[in-house]
Amino acid sequence: MLRRAATVLVVVASAVWVSPAPVLAVEPGDWTPVFSESFDDPGALPPGCAAYDGVADGTLGGAGGEGGGGAEASYFRPEAVTVSGGRLHLALHRRAYGGRQFVTGELRCLGAAQQFGRYEFRARVAVGAGISSVAMLRPVDEPPGQDASQLEITARPGGEQGLVRNGTGAQTSVRPLPGPFSDWHAYTIEWAPTGFRVLVDGKERAADPGVSTRHRWFGFAVTTGGPGTQGSPGTPGPSTALPAEFEVDYLRVYAYAPDSPLPAGAAQPSTVHNAVPGSPGGHRWSLWLAVVATAMAAVALFAFVLRKTRPHRPPPAHRA
């Protein structure tokens, strides 16, 4: 029996050692995961990502900087970007800093820069007049120019709206996106050689056949700006309740990797150092189970060998 038990345990341990970590999400076709972040570690930003510290530098396009808007009233500070309660929080405060009226948050994932990508996230945008929540793609080490793309949402009570801006290198298209947006929604930004798409709750809401071929990084920001009176750029007025937060529940980043080779001139995607796709805890549990199973097999095998090598004591002689 011990021999059979040892054999079974060895087989189980071998199977556990070679079994892959479980995949929690279905991977879309033509895409391979780069990293997945669920913000479960309080205070820890995703690998390859950092909070921006400074004034608007043009990266926000239509939300501010060189594209107009109200971001010139914001100063982006690291303390406005936090992780707690299983979420990423980007806050907007009515507090003067560096000659600006408001302190806001912006996260830049330069470590995930790549040519083409798919970005999935579940988020709840900041609510209030003069506030924009932005998910953006920006070229690496270059001014945004015509190579910037973004989803910008303003959840002004009674006037929620989104704007999809897509830069192709030669021009930038702008498409309005009707709300509502104030609740939690699942967003997807897909940037492929065949086109640029934005999906909300699994439904395509905007598409553009033109794309930028620059390497670009992905990020989030909350800032002043968005429609004010009669559609003009504005900032939060006295009636806007602050602080307001742009919250992100998870972020999944994919690289373009179809079965066929990449188009001519397309570079291989970069990856984030130390990032683990899928479930970061699945592999650890598989490893511990393998260790326990192997140890049990070793104990059973030792007991079997000990029993076989122990001197055999003859039975007592029967009396006549």
Q: What is the phi/psi pair of residue 245, to 5°?
A: -130, 140
Residue 297 banded pLDDT, cuts 50, 70, 90: low
Q: Is 70 exceeded by the pLDDT of residue 71?
A: no
- Provide CB contacts within 8 A for 14, sequence distance 6+: none
For the chain, percent of residues with pLDDT exceeding 70: 65
Output the pLDDT for position 219: 97
Of residues 219 and 258, the one with the higher pLDDT is 219
Residue 247 banded pLDDT, cuts 50, 70, 90: very high
Output the pLDDT for position 158: 79
CATH 3.40.50.720 holds for 31-256: no
Output the pLDDT for position 143: 82
Output the pLDDT for position 255: 96
Beta-ladder partners of 96: none
- Provide CB contacts within 8 A for 315, sequence distance 6+: none
Q: Is 80 exceeded by the pLDDT of residue 73?
A: yes
Q: Is 70 exceeded by the pLDDT of residue 30?
A: yes
Output the pLDDT for position 301: 64
Of residues 298 and 231, the one with the higher pLDDT is 298
pLDDT digits (tens, 9 = 90+) for 208-234: 999 999 999 999 999 997 554 334 447
- Extents of the domains making up the chain: 2-19+281-309, 31-256
For the residues 49-77, what does the mean pLDDT come to? 70
Q: Is 70 exceeded by the pLDDT of residue 1?
A: no
Output the pLDDT for position 307: 66
pLDDT digits (tens, 9 = 90+) for 263-289: 433 334 433 433 333 333 333 333 344
pLDDT digits (tens, 9 = 90+) for 141-191: 888 889 999 999 998 887 888 999 999 999 999 999 988 898 999 999 999
Query: For the range 276-282, what are the long-range contacts, defined as Cβ-Cβ under 8 Å and sequence gap of 24 or more?
Result: 276/35, 276/36, 277/33, 277/34, 277/35, 277/36, 278/21, 278/22, 278/23, 278/24, 278/25, 278/33, 278/36, 279/21, 279/22, 279/23, 279/24, 279/36, 280/36, 282/21, 282/22, 282/24
Output the pLDDT for position 304: 59
Output the pLDDT for position 156: 83
